[in-house]
Amino acid sequence: MNEEFHYKGGELFCENVPVKQIAAKVGTPVYVYSQNHFLSQHAAIKQAFAEVEPLVCYSVKSNGNLGILRAMALAGSGFDAVSKGEVYRALRAGAEPGKIVFAGVGKTPDEIDYALEQGILMFNVESEAELEAISRVAAKRKTEAPVALRINPDVDPKTHKYISTGKRENKFGIDLARAEACAKRIKELKNLRLRGLHLHIGSQITYADRHAEAIDKVSGFIKQLKQQDFPLEFINVGGGFGISYHVGEGLPIADFAAQMVPRIKALGLKMISEPGRFISGNGGILLTQVVYNKPSGDKDFLIVDGAMNDLLRPSIYQAFHLAWPVKSPGLADGPVLGENSPIKEEGPDDGVTYDVVGPICESGDYFALGRKLPKMAEGELLAIFSSGAYGMSMASNYNTRGRPAEVIVDGDQYWVARERETIEDVIRGERLTPRESFKAKA
Ligand code: LLP
Answer yes or no: is the C-beta of 210 below 6 A from any ligand 1 atom. Answer: no
**If you measure from the C-alpha of residue 10 to the centroid of ligand 1, how many angstroms do you get, rounded to a whole number?**
35
Answer yes or no: is the C-beta of 244 below 6 A from any ligand 1 atom. Answer: no
Candidates 323, 288, 283, 334; CA nearest to 9 is 334
The residue whose CB lies within 8 Å of the most ligand 1 atoms, and thus the one to mutate among 56, 59, 124, is 59
Instruction: Say how many CA atoms lie within 13 Å of 408 toward its Cβ.
Output: 19
Answer yes or no: is the C-beta of 31 below 6 A from any ligand 1 atom. Answer: no
**If you measure from the C-alpha of residue 170 to the centroid of ligand 1, how many angstroms do you get, rounded to a whole number?**
14
| Angle, in degrees to the nearest 10, between helices 253-267 and 35-48 | 40
pTM above threshold 0.95: yes
For residue range 332-378, list pLDDT tens digits in order: 999 999 889 999 989 999 999 999 999 999 999 999 999 999 999 99
Nearest-atom index, ligand 1, CA of 204: 15
> Is residue 57 annotated as part of the catalytic site, yes or no?
no
SS3 167: coil
Spell out the long-range contacts of 208-213 with Cβ–Cβ below 8 A and sequence spacing 24 or more.
Answer: 208/251, 208/255, 208/256, 208/258, 208/259, 208/260, 209/259, 210/155, 210/156, 210/157, 210/158, 210/240, 211/237, 211/240, 211/256, 211/259, 211/260, 212/259, 212/260, 212/263, 213/153, 213/155
- What's the gap between Cα 49 and its chain centre? 20
Answer yes or no: is the C-beta of 402 below 6 A from any ligand 1 atom. Answer: no
Please indicate whether residue 114 or residue 250 has the higher confidence score (pLDDT). Answer: 114
Answer yes or no: is the C-beta of 80 below 6 A from any ligand 1 atom. Answer: yes
The residue whose CB lies within 8 Å of the most ligand 1 atoms, and thus the one to mutate among 249, 274, 384, is 274
Residue type, 54: P
Residue 357: which residues within 8 A CB-CB, separation 6 or more? 301, 302, 303, 304, 365, 366, 367
Query: Domains in the chain, ordered, with CATH?
Result: 5-33+281-427 (2.40.37.10), 35-277 (3.20.20.10)
Residue 43: which residues within 8 A CB-CB, separation 6 or more? 75
**CA 185 – CA 168 distance, rounded (Å):** 22
Nearest-atom index, ligand 1, CA of 150: 3
Answer yes or no: is the C-beta of 390 below 6 A from any ligand 1 atom. Answer: yes
Nearest-atom index, ligand 1, CA of 312: 24
For residue range 152-173, list pLDDT tens digits in order: 988 888 888 887 787 888 888 8
**If you measure from the C-alpha of residue 364 to the centroid of ligand 1, how many angstroms do you get, rounded to a whole number?**
23
**If you measure from the C-alpha of residue 406 to the centroid of ligand 1, how many angstroms do you get, rounded to a whole number?**
21
Region 174-183 average pLDDT: 94
Residue minimizing CA distance to atom 23 of ligand 1: 390
Answer yes or no: is the C-beta of 59 below 6 A from any ligand 1 atom. Answer: yes
**If you measure from the C-alpha of residue 27 to the centroid of ligand 1, how many angstroms do you get, rounded to a whole number?**
29
Give φ, ψ of 104 to 5 degrees.
Answer: 125, 140
Q: What are the Cα distances from residue 126, in Å, to 58, 182, 198, 230?
A: 20, 10, 9, 18
Nearest-atom index, ligand 1, CA of 281: 14
**CA 415 – CA 368 distance, rounded (Å):** 29
Pairing of strands 122-125, 145-152: parallel
Answer for the pair 183, 194: CB distance below 8 angstroms, yes or no: yes
183 burial via Cβ count (<10 Å: 0-12, 13-18, 19+): middle
Angle value at C-alpha 211, between 53 and 171, nearest 5 degrees: 110
Answer for the pair 39, 33: CB distance below 8 angstroms, yes or no: no
pLDDT of residue 435: 81
Instruction: Say how many CA atoms lie within 13 Å of 389 toward its Cβ.
Output: 25
Round to the nearest angstrom and report the end-to-end CA distance of the chain: 67
**CA 335 – CA 12 distance, rounded (Å):** 9
**CA 321 – CA 193 distance, rounded (Å):** 43
Nearest-atom index, ligand 1, CA of 316: 24
SS3 9: coil
For residue range 265-297, list pLDDT tens digits in order: 999 999 999 999 999 999 999 999 999 999 998
Residue 168: which residues within 8 A CB-CB, separation 6 or more? 152, 154, 175
pLDDT of residue 2: 61
Of the residues 14, 57, 182, 361, only one is catalytic, namely 361
For residue range 416-434, list pLDDT tens digits in order: 999 999 999 999 999 998 8
pLDDT of residue 1: 46
In sign, the C-alpha dihedral spanning 82, 84, 86, 91 is positive
Residue minimizing CA distance to atom 9 of ligand 1: 239
**If you measure from the C-alpha of residue 240 to the centroid of ligand 1, how many angstroms do you get, rounded to a whole number?**
6
pLDDT of residue 161: 81
Answer yes or no: is the C-beta of 354 below 6 A from any ligand 1 atom. Answer: no
Answer yes or no: is the C-beta of 391 below 6 A from any ligand 1 atom. Answer: no
Answer yes or no: is the C-beta of 310 below 6 A from any ligand 1 atom. Answer: no
**CA 206 – CA 347 distance, rounded (Å):** 25
Q: What are the Cα distances from residue 186, in Å, to 29, 125, 351?
A: 49, 11, 63
Residue 416 per-residue DSSP state? E
Share of the chain above pLDDT 70, in %: 99
What is the chain's mean pLDDT, rounded? 95
How many Cβ atoms from other residues are within 10 Å of residue 287's Cβ? 29
